[in-house]
Structure 1
Amino acid sequence: MSARPLPTVPFAADSWFKASASAAQNECVEVNTSVSSLVGVRDSKAPDAVLAFPRAAFTAAVDAVRDGAL
């Protein structure tokens, strides 16, 4: 069985942002919303590794954290 390459999502390189609370720290999670149906998430120390989530799922997860459910 051979491994198939993962699809590449064309997130705009200049659209990554991090929380303002993380500005002074080097260990940050960055988010990109330049693709309409997806949200990209990456570690600022390893920017070549990107996770892509459906926008609705990402929003639901953030809301659950905000509400204390996660």
Structure 2
Amino acid sequence: MGDAKLLAALGAWLGWHALPHILLVASLTGLVGGFAWLLWSKQNHRSTFPFGHFLAIAGIIELLWPQTPQNFLLSNLA
């Protein structure tokens, strides 16, 4: 349950309002990273894949650029 603890720590540091952005960015980067990992390591799709790295990357992005994911998504909708 390390991913849940990391997400709780990020919520404590950055506030609960940052958690949706963190989950969105972590999921998108995890999706890209997962596909790259599958192609690189020649594993099947049922093997385990660590998600904590992507939570940490998303937390850093949210800490340094808090409005970037929201502005990017909203600018593409209009």
TM-score by length of 1: 0.31
TM-score by length of 2: 0.29
Higher share of residues assigned helix: 2
Structure with the greater relative contact order (CA < 8 A, sep ≥ 6): 1 or 2? 2
